[in-house]
Amino acid sequence: MKMILESSDGSRTPAPSLLSVQKAIDGLENVDDGYVVIGPDEMSYVQCLGNSKQGYRLEYQEGDTDQHFQAINNDGLPGSLADRLWRYADGDPTWKEGIDWERIEI
């Protein structure tokens, strides 16, 4: 599946590497209301929002807004964010493990 990495700075990276994912997440540190999103399309993705000062939020959506979830326990997320997004992009289903998820009602 073809993945695209997008950041709140306007950058778009097709077929991102682990290094490009890490650089995008590192770039959130100096931005308020920043985000990094990776996915094959607008309806299926994983996104990271925030920074270490604001706190991080991790969300994912699978196909439609009825399948939109957020992490409810963000402990330990900063160190694993790049790895989690990279595993998602690589098709590894373990990226979701170890996090409690709740559905976002829209």
66-72 average pLDDT score: 90
- 26-56 pLDDT, tens digit each: 898 888 889 999 999 999 999 999 887 888 8
**Helices 77-89 + 18-26 axis angle, to 10:** 140
Domain boundaries, the chain: 4-103
pTM of the model: 0.87
User: Are residues 93 and 63 in contact, defined by beta-carbon separation less than 8 angstroms?
Assistant: no
Residue 73's pLDDT band, with cuts at 50, 70 and 90, is low
- 79-92 pLDDT, tens digit each: 578 888 999 999 99
User: Are residues 6 and 12 in contact, defined by beta-carbon separation less than 8 angstroms?
Assistant: yes
Q: What is the DSSP string of 35-79?
A: EEEEEEETTEEEEEEEETTTEEEEEEEESSGGGEEEES--TTHHH
Contacts 24+ apart (CB under 8 A), 23-26: 25/81, 25/82, 25/85
